[in-house]
Structure 1
Amino acid sequence: MPNQSDLLTHHISQQFNHELEELRNNLLSMGGMVEKQVSDAIESLINADSDLAIVVCEKDNDVNFMEIAIDQECSRILARRQPAASDLRLVLACTKVATDLERIGDEAAKIARFAIKLSEQGEAPKGYIETRHIGSHVSQMTQDALNAFARFDAEKALAVAKEDKAVDREYKSATRELVTYMMEDPRSITRVLNIMWVLRSLERIGDHARNIAEYVIYLVKGTDVRHIGLKRMQEEVFDNHLND
């Protein structure tokens, strides 16, 4: 498995080395902030903690500002350094990953807003077990995708991409159960619909985690693996050739 020294060129300019490392570290800091947003949003929902949900919503602005800062950093590097090969892939991957992290933050804020609504409605609706389960699953996917980026680990990234299929199945199963429940108890419709929107946000977080994993594979292997399917993605990951 390639390590950091394989993928980050050691340049004559120490300043360029520093800029690339700082960019990577800033992206991982943003990732840590988004991970906490997701976990806090789920906790605020399960525990009917409106105060925590408000904090999650407020943090969304910080995430947005971090995305802008990272984009500006990438633009400066592209303009001043004109990177090539693996350095160029790193800068491009950072811009893409930052976008997906910002969107994960948006979904976490949506969940927090629903947590506030549901806490005001009182009784916990059916669907919290499914929410906790899928929430735990996509939180782990996000963490694993960021770890794969930090370590330039294409195999771990592939595992994240594969997990997205499982999340999709869990989401569809939970949705079917909740629709049946609403049909049996029409009084629950409003509350359960809110939970279904939460599950939809969680499913989208899984999609964004998969996107991040795909960018890791692009960074490590030099091949764009979006839209090619898991079988071909796996072939790319286990191809020992690394494009410089």
Structure 2
Amino acid sequence: MDNNKIKQHISRQFNEEMEDIRNKVLAMGGLVEQQVDLATKAFMGYDMEGAETVVKQDQLVNELEKDIDHECTEIMARRQPAAFDLRMLIATIKIITDLERIGDEAARIARMTMRLEGSDYYQDKYYEIEHLLELVKDMLNGALDAYARTDVEEVIEITAQDTKVDREYTSITRQLITQMMENPRNITRALDMLWTARALERIGDHACNVCEHVIYMVKGKDVRHVSREELEKTVKTAR
């Protein structure tokens, strides 16, 4: 844990409680990252075993969210923290909500893959979403790294990738509409692809949300629903 941000408290137990929460969030984040990667690759490669793994992991993600939420609430009630400690707990509760929703999106992709088992139209690797997946994975990894290091220096670059994700999603949508117009036999495949691309686009949005919560934790500023210029100004302003 970054000692420049998280001060040592008089109570050693308090330090251990805060560190435990941080470690659990990172464990949850790592599991969610794995879900996104595995679910999307299972869809592209028609991997039923991988899809089943993602669905099973979703329950573990849900349990981690409840456990971390309860622990944060208990600490706030017992310790009555202030300043950075309070912001960390509030931000953590919001971050795990976004992580749980990312897990839900991954599980939906996995369940759809499982429903497609035995479909005769499932004949290729859905190559169009490979680049979108890599963009989203980079965003999520960067957001979790910012939380781990309590550092917002890279947040501007991470959130800027959301524009690339939106652009890629729009491009995929146009390609799929063209395919459906050219040949009605492409409609089912195109709709499955569109649904998965939309899920990845939403995961990118949740990664941006995590970045915003980290900014609040570190800077004490709520940057939700602000312009990009205001977000950058907040990140660059020293406290």
- Is TM-score (shorter-chain normalized) higher than 0.5? yes
What's the secondary structure of 2:223's corresponding residue?
coil
Q: Deviations over 1:22-46 (max 9, x none)?
A: 1111100000000000111011112
Q: Deviations over 1:125-163 (max 9, x none)?
A: 678222111011101111110011101120212221111
Change (3 A) 1:226 1:111: same
Give me the identity figure in percent: 47
Matched with 1:120 is 118
Change (3 A) 1:219 1:125: farther
Matched with 1:81 is 79
Matched with 1:34 is 32
Task: Answer with 72-81 or 151-160: which moved more.
Answer: 151-160
Measured after TM superposition, the shift of residue 124 of structure 1 is 4.3
Question: Paired residue for 1:62, among 60, 63, 68?
Answer: 60
**Structure 2: which 5+ residue stretches go unaligned?**
none
Q: Which residue type is aligned with residue 233 of structure 2?
A: E
Distance in structure 1 (CA, Å) of the matches to 2:167 and 2:134: 15
Change (3 A) 1:155 1:127: farther
Matched with 1:150 is 148
Matched with 2:103 is 105
Measured after TM superposition, the shift of residue 119 of structure 1 is 4.4
What's the secondary structure of 2:4's corresponding residue?
helix
Matched with 1:178 is 176
What's the secondary structure of 1:224's corresponding residue?
coil
Q: How many residues get paired?
A: 239
Matched with 1:16 is 14
* TM-score (structure 2 length as normaliser): 0.96
Distance in structure 2 (CA, Å) of the matches to 1:203 and 1:100: 14
Q: Which residue type is aligned with residue 14 of structure 1?
A: R
**Structure 1: which 5+ residue stretches go unaligned?**
none
Distance in structure 2 (CA, Å) of the matches to 1:113 and 1:139: 20
Q: Which residue type is aligned with residue 162 of structure 2?
A: D
Matched with 1:93 is 91
Matched with 1:132 is 130
Distance in structure 1 (CA, Å) of the matches to 2:175 and 2:208: 25
Distance in structure 2 (CA, Å) of the matches to 1:106 and 1:68: 15
* TM-score (structure 1 length as normaliser): 0.94
What's the secondary structure of 2:224's corresponding residue?
coil
Question: Paired residue for 1:224, among 188, 205, 222?
Answer: 222
Distance in structure 1 (CA, Å) of the matches to 2:123 and 2:82: 53
Q: Alignment RMSD, CA only? A: 1.4
Question: Paired residue for 2:212, among 207, 214, 233?
Answer: 214
Distance in structure 1 (CA, Å) of the matches to 2:209 and 2:120: 36
What's the secondary structure of 2:3's corresponding residue?
helix
Q: Which residue type is aligned with residue 176 of structure 1?
A: R
Measured after TM superposition, the shift of residue 236 of structure 1 is 0.6
Q: Deviations over 1:106-136 (max 9, x none)?
A: 0000111222234432444678222111011
Distance in structure 1 (CA, Å) of the matches to 2:223 and 2:123: 40
